């Protein structure tokens, strides 16, 4: 199977997946990084790992449809089976999601459906929540929505600062995202309507 990772920034989750592939925990080809930001840390990670990079910038296209069409060209050329969103800071269109339905996964630093959006760790901290966490889910047409694959809690302790909480959440991200990708590659994730059943086979 061939994996494409979409990232816009540092790519720390991308790095966790690279390590899992190198260690043989994920038995698939990490074929492509799709990035929309020149100079992003994810690009450096890809180059160091010998992974092909497709830099596709929205400003180079008249419409979002054209922008996504260029991305599709790259995905089709590399025969991509699974799209892994790892800090890709653009909403994909319903048409794109429909084209790859059941083959796009995302990670979110909260226990969905709580604390959606791009500031979820800070939102949980500011709210005074005692527990937050990480969610890996299939992507559907809504933001931070879709059938949940894995979730793991992170306790927010009184001594935590926003910075220490971010470190704890990211550590859990790097644990469960490669695991979710492994389950997909091994054919153990079965979508049943709005639910995901994880098989033992």
Digit-by-digit pLDDT tens for the chain (201 residues) are 999 999 999 999 999 999 999 999 999 999 999 999 999 999 999 999 999 999 999 999 999 999 999 999 999 999 999 999 999 999 999 999 999 999 999 999 999 999 998 899 999 999 999 999 999 999 998 888 899 999 999 999 999 999 999 999 999 999 999 999 999 999 999 888 778 989 865
Query: Residue 84: beta bridge partners?
Result: 5, 105
- The residue among 43, 76, 100 that closes a domain is 100
Q: What is the pLDDT of residue 201?
A: 57
Q: What is the pLDDT of residue 118?
A: 86
Q: What is the pLDDT of residue 17?
A: 98
As for how many domains the chain has, the answer is 2
Q: Are 189 and 183 in contact (CB under 8 A)?
A: yes
Q: Which residue has the tokens 């997946």?
A: 17
Angle formed by the axes of helices 162-185 and 120-127, nearest 10°: 130
**Alpha-carbon span 98 to 117, nearest angstrom:** 21
Residue 43 lies in a domain: yes
**Alpha-carbon span 58 to 157, nearest angstrom:** 40
Domain that holds residue 186: 108-135+149-201
Q: What is the pLDDT of residue 154?
A: 97
The reply to whether omega before 113 is within 30° of 0 (cis) is yes
Angle formed by the axes of helices 12-22 and 162-185, nearest 10°: 40
Q: Are residues 54 and 26 in the same domain?
A: yes
| Active-site residue, from 74, 108, 137, 174 | 108
Q: Are residues 25 and 42 in the same domain?
A: yes
**Alpha-carbon span 78 to 72, nearest angstrom:** 10
CA-wise closest residue to 17 among 121, 123, 105, 103:
105
Q: Are 10 and 43 in contact (CB under 8 A)?
A: no
**Alpha-carbon span 192 to 175, nearest angstrom:** 25
Residue 143 lies in a domain: no
108 is catalytic: yes
Q: Are residues 117 and 92 in the same domain?
A: no
Q: In CATH, what number is assigned to the domain containing residue 92?
A: 3.40.50.170
Q: What contacts 60, CB < 8 A, 6 or more positions away?
A: 67
């Amino acid at each position: 199977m061939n994996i494409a990772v979409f990232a816009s920034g540092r790519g720390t989750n991308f790095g966790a997946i690279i390590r899992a592939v190198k260690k043989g925990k994920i038995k698939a080809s990490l074929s492509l990084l799709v990035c929309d930001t020149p100079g992003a840390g994810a690009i450096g990670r890809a180059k160091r790992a010998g992974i092909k990079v497709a830099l596709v910038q929205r400003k180079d296209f008249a419409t979002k449809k054209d922008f996504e069409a260029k991305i599709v060209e790259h995905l089709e050329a590399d025969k991509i089976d699974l799209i892994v969103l790892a800090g890709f800071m653009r909403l994909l269109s319903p048409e794109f999601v429909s084209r790859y339905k059941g083959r796009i996964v995302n990670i979110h630093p909260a226990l969905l459906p709580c604390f959606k959006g791009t500031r979820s760790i800070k939102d949980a901290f500011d709210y005074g929540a005692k527990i937050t966490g990480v969610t890996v889910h299939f992507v559907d047409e809504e933001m931070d929505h879709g059938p949940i694959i894995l979730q793991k809690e992170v306790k927010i302790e009184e001594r935590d600062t926003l910075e220490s909480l971010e470190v704890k959440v990211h550590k859990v991200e790097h644990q469960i995202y490669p695991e979710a990708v492994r389950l997909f590659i091994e054919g153990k994730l079965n979508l049943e309507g709005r639910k995901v059943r994880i098989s033992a086979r």
